[in-house]
Amino acid sequence: DAGVIQSPRHEVTEMGQEVTLRCKPISGHNSLFWYRQTMMRGLELLIYFNNNVPIDDSGMPEDRFSAKMPNASFSTLKIQPSEPRDSAVYFCASRLGATQETQYFGPGTRLLVL
């Protein structure tokens, strides 16, 4: 099993640019989560999907953030326009189903906005 796959692993961009982070969940998993991790705020849940449908996006910090899941094997998290305070590590996680608790994390994307 390849596990959760995220790309890119590292991203450096300038303030104002659009950033797109990508995630491929574990095959057969029906729930997908996007987290942000910073030293100051720890692990924060941004949004999650069940069966490709967004369930809770209350953690999305601003309208500059958007997430999509066009199919069961792919999701994107987009920041437009990016700001230096968006610099963080962004993790994607997946789980088997809505009633299965165990989440499996990807390796993360380290984002630096200059």
Partner 1 sequence: GENVEQHPSTLSVQEGDSAVIKCTYSDSASNYFPWYKQELGKGPQLIIDIRSNVGEKKDQRIAVTLNKTAKHFSLHITETQPEDSAVYFCAAWTLSGSARQLTFGSGTQLTVLP
Residue reference for tokens 């792919």: 74
Range 41-80, binding partner 1 (CB under 8 A)? 42-43, 45, 48, 50, 55-56, 58
Give whichever of 57 and 81 is closer to partner 1, judged by the CB atom: 57
Q: Is 103 in the site for partner 1 (CB under 8 A)?
A: yes
Residue reference for tokens 């993360």: 108
Cβ 68 to partner 1, closest distance in Å?
19
Task: Look at phi and psi of residue 111 and say left if phi exceeds 0, alpha if psi is from -120 to 50, else beta.
Answer: beta
3-state helix, strand, coil in the chain (%, to 5): 5, 55, 45
Range 19-38, binding partner 1 (CB under 8 A)? 33
Cβ 97 to partner 1, closest distance in Å?
11
Cβ 16 to partner 1, closest distance in Å?
28
Q: Which parts of the chain are beta strand (E)?
A: 5-7, 10-13, 19-24, 31-38, 42-50, 53-56, 65-71, 74-79, 88-95, 104-105, 109-113
**Contact with partner 1 (CB under 8 A) among 11, 88, 106, 113:** 106
**Site of interaction with partner 1 (CB under 8 A):** 4, 33, 42-43, 45, 48, 50, 55-56, 58, 91, 93, 98-99, 101-108
